Structures are given as structure tokens and as C-alpha cells.
Amino acid sequence: MADTLDRALLEWYDSRRRDLPWRRQRDPYRIWVSEVMLQQTRVETAIPYYLRWLERFPDLLSLARAPEEEVLALWSGLGYYSRARNLHAAVREVASRYGGEVPRDPDAFAALPGVGEYTAGAVLSIAYGLRLPAVDGNALRVLVRLGALEGDITRTAVRREAVRLAARLVPEDRPGDFNQALMELGGSVCVPRRPRCGDCPITAWCEARRRGLEGVLPRRTRRPAAPAVPLAAALIRDGSGRVGLARRPAVGLLAGMWGLPAFEVGAETPAGAVAAALERHLEEAHGLRVRVGPPVARARHVFSHRTWEMTAFAGDLLEAPPEGPGWRWLTPGELEGFPLPRAFSRLVEAAGLVPAAPAGRPERRRSTR
DNA sequence: AATGCGGGGAT
DNA sequence: ATCCCAGCATT
């Protein structure tokens, strides 16, 4: 076995690294896209989105030139939509300010929207070979065990300590591979519960293992359960059977995405008054005069911090709606391929307007038989 | 320093 | 049910 931690880890990585789409080249733009998609997202989830993204936006300038609507459409279903908006804005800044070349300077790169300490370290170490740490959730767990850091990892101080440890460990030679190896080790061997220390290439250096703490580290206070929030949505048809969609506000949950017009029902609204409250919401938020009828579909959607208990009410349009950038009508056929966030696509499915979507998220195939 | 922000897979 | 994922911006 190699006699230093970094050599042992790199040897392990060389023998078992996965063949991932973003590991086939070192184009900084492509590495960057992968790192943003992978923020809080599993590798297997991101891959189909990544491939489709690069087909449409093969280089930085093609993304910089694209309209935001198309960018969000390609991201839809992946979640955390500000990632897409920030990446789009950042790429435009690189195009205009840096001549289309991703800056090598860590401070300049990290100043771009959506680029934090992790993403800067990952992109610059992988694409440019800079000796920078990149500590994601997986690497954090490895580092906490390696150094037997006993503090609560939800605290900033403990995370900083882990980053300092990583900065000490990352070698001049192959820093990008080292960072990826640390992450991959956390994802496959140094897993949250019951780590497979027998398969670990750096167990000889692991302080938690030496002290018998590998099963209890990292320590973390648990999050409170997400509250359930009722959501009232309107399923409004126009004279020709099309369905009304509203663009959500630019800030907040699902910001800027399209969905059924909807609002979160507060505790002050009794169950019997929801329909009337929905009518008021449609009037105030969209200038629509609608008579809200009976509920036609229900669905539950779990976010990380709240759960929507969704009810869709049928709505009869009393008066022609105003045209505008925040409102559009789609036929059920158009709805089927439309980039809706999952919460709304599920609700529309429950209403029987479109067939249930196929398992693969990104390829919204039209009619596969 | 804590919170908001998606969606899904593993246990 | 709970945890957690190649995190970042905002407060």
C-alpha cells in the first residue's frame, strides 16, 4: 500500500473511479455545469439532465446567448431553480467580462453568482489543476471521521475545520482527482451509517476508526419535521378547453416557474372558505374573474422544508383574461410536454389532464408507445 | 449563524 | 418516517 494518505486514496480512485460524462474532458464550462447540477443532487439524478443540457448548450457562449425561459425549461424537474438562473447569469458575465473564458482566479470565479467555496474549489482543481480543497457533503463526512471531529456538523465552525483539514491534505499533484476521490469515497465507502471500513483505502489514517467512533461520527442535530401547508390551486379552462397557467413570483418557492395559479391557505381561512379565498387570490394576483367550483384533484408534494397538501378546484372563467407575460393558456396536449415543476405536474396528472409522466425526468417524451 | 430553496433515493 | 445528497444566497 502507498505510504501517504493522498497516494493511497489516488490509487484507490484510479482503480475504481466511475466513468461519468463530465470526467471525459476538462472543459471548464462543462465541469462547471456538472458541479452546479450536482449541488445537493445525486450523481445518478443529474446525469440525464447533464447530457441533455450539453446537447443544447455545448459551450459557454451557447448558454450565454440562450433565453432564460429555455434555460429553466431544461432545468425543470431538477429543483433548486435559482441554480439555473445563477449559472445563466454567471456565464453571461464570463462572456462579457472575461472574454468567454472561465476565470482561473479563485476569488474572481467565486464572485460569480451561484459559485461558492465548494464549487470554486471543485471546478478550478478539476479543470485547471489548482491546489484547492472542495468539500461537499460526502467529503465532509470523510474528513470528520478522518480527523475525529466531534462537533455538530451543522455548525459552521466544524465545517471550517473540515475544510482546513482538506486544504492540508490536497496534494499539488492531481488536486482535482484527489477532491473527487474524497467525494467518491464518501459516497460509496464512508457512507453515513455503517461505513464499510474494510473497503476503505485510508482507514490506516482514520482517527475515528482508531477510537471506535466511525459509527457515531459525524454528529448532527436533527432537523424539525417539515410542516404541512394546504395549497389551493385553480384548474381554469377557457372556451376552447385550454388550461390557464400562471408564472410564480420571482422570489420564493419555485420562483419564476410556471404552475397552476395557487396560493398557500393560511390558518385563518376555514375549510369552507377556501374556494372564496381562491377567487379573491385569482382576482388580486392575476386580474381574473373566476367562479371557483368543486375540488377536482388532490396531491401531496414534499419539499425539504414543507409539504404541500394540494387541492385543485375547477374554475369557470367569467370574463376574458388579460394577456400578459405572467399568464398563458395551454391545451392538454401542450401541457404534456410543458416544463412544470413536479408539484404541479403531479397535480395535473391527478386531475386526469395528462397521462402520468414516464420515470425518466428529462426526456419528456411525447407519445411513447 | 440560521434559514429558504426541489426532488428523489436509501434505509 | 428520516436522512441526505459533488451547496448557495440571504438574513
The CATH class given to the A228-350 domain equals alpha beta
Binning pLDDT at 50, 70 and 90, where does residue A267 land?
confident
Residue A24 Cβ < 7 Å to strand C: no
The answer on pLDDT for A1 being more than 90 is: no
User: Is A349 known to be catalytic?
Assistant: no
> What is the CATH code of the structural domain delimited by A5-211?
1.10.340.30
Pairwise pLDDT comparison (A356 vs A365), residue with the higher score: A356
Tens digits of per-residue pLDDT, A306-344? 999 999 999 998 876 666 889 999 999 999 989 999 999
Residue A73 (CA) to nucleotide B6 (C1'), in angstroms, measures: 15
Which one from A11, A35, A172, A264 is the annotated catalytic residue? A35
CA of A232 to C1' of B5 (A): 21
Task: Name the residue with the least CA to C1' distance from nucleotide B9.
Answer: A42
Q: So where are chain A's domains?
A: 5-211, 228-350
What are A241-264's pLDDT values in tens digits? 899 999 999 999 999 999 999 999
Lookup: nucleotide whose C1' is closest to A340 CA: B6
The pLDDT assigned to A322 comes to 64
The residues pairing with A290 across neighbouring beta strands, listed in sequence order, are A317
CB under 8 Å to A148, separation ≥6 — which residues? A207, A208, A210, A211, A213, A217
Computed over every residue of chain A, the mean pLDDT equals: 93
Q: Residue A115 pLDDT more than 50?
A: yes
Strand C within 7 A of A120 CB: yes
Specify the residue for cell string 422544508: A305
Q: pLDDT exceeding 90 applies to what percent of chain A?
A: 87
* Residue A238 near residue A317, CB atoms below 8 Å: yes
User: Average pLDDT of A195-208?
Assistant: 97
- pLDDT tens for A118-172 read 999 999 999 999 999 999 999 999 999 999 999 999 999 999 999 999 999 999 9
SS3 assignment for A26-37: CCHHHHHHHHHH
Where does the pLDDT of residue A363 fall: very low under 50, low under 70, confident under 90, or very high at 90 and above? low
When pLDDT is averaged across residues A181-203 and rounded to a whole number, the result is: 96
So what's the pLDDT on residue A368?
Answer: 30
A116 touches strand C (CB under 7 A): yes
Give me the CA A138–C1' B10 separation in Å, rounded.
Answer: 15
With CA of A346 and C1' of each nucleotide, the nearest comes out as: B7
Given the C-alpha cell 453571461, which residue does it identify?
Answer: A92
According to DSSP, residue A66 is labeled: S
Q: What is the pLDDT at residue A329?
A: 93
| Cβ A250 to strand C below 7 Å | no
Name the nearest CA neighbour of A132 among A91, A172, A84.
A172
In chain A, % of residues over pLDDT 70: 95
With distances taken from each CA to the C1' atom of nucleotide B8, the closest residue turns out to be A45
Position A357 scores a pLDDT of: 67
The CA distance from A49 to A78, in Å, is 8
Answer yes or no: are the C-beta atoms of A31 and A127 closer than 8 Å. Answer: yes
Using a 7 Å CB cut-off, which residues contact strand B?
A: A 40-42, 44-45, 76-82, 154-157, 191, 193, 251-255, 301-306, 341-343, 361
As a rounded value in angstroms, the CA-to-C1' distance for A211 and C10 is 39
Q: Which residues of A29-38 are buried (b: 16+ CB within 10 A; e: fewer)?
A: bbbbbbbbbb
pLDDT band at A222; cut points 50, 70, 90? confident
Which helix (H) or strand (E) segment is A312 a member of?
A: strand A307-317
Give the mean pLDDT of A38-66: 97
> Measured in angstroms, what separates residue A332's CA from nucleotide C10's C1'?
38
As a whole number of angstroms, the distance between CA A133 and CA A122 comes to: 7
Rounded to the nearest 5 percent, the helix, strand and coil shares of chain A are 45, 15, 40
Residue with cell 419555485: A254
Lowest-confidence range among A143-152, A169-178, A204-213, A262-271? Answer: A262-271
The continuous run of DSSP H or E covering A21 comes out as: none
DSSP element (H, E) containing A55: helix A43-56
Could you give the C-alpha distances from A366 to A48, A251, A369, in angstroms and in order? Answer: 17, 31, 10
Subset of residues 134-153 in chain A with CB less than 7 angstroms from any atom in strand C: 136-138, 140-141
Q: CA–C1' span, A80 to B4, in Å?
A: 10
| pLDDT tops 80 at residue A33 | yes
Question: In the predicted model, is pLDDT for residue A201 greater than 70?
Answer: yes
Query: 3-state class of A241 per DSSP?
Result: coil
What DSSP letter does each residue of A101-153 carry, written as one string? -----HHHHHTSTT--HHHHHHHHHHHH--------HHHHHHHHHHTT--SBT
Q: What is the dihedral of CA A33, A38, A40, A43, to 10 degrees?
A: 160
Is A228-350 in the same CATH topology as A5-211? no
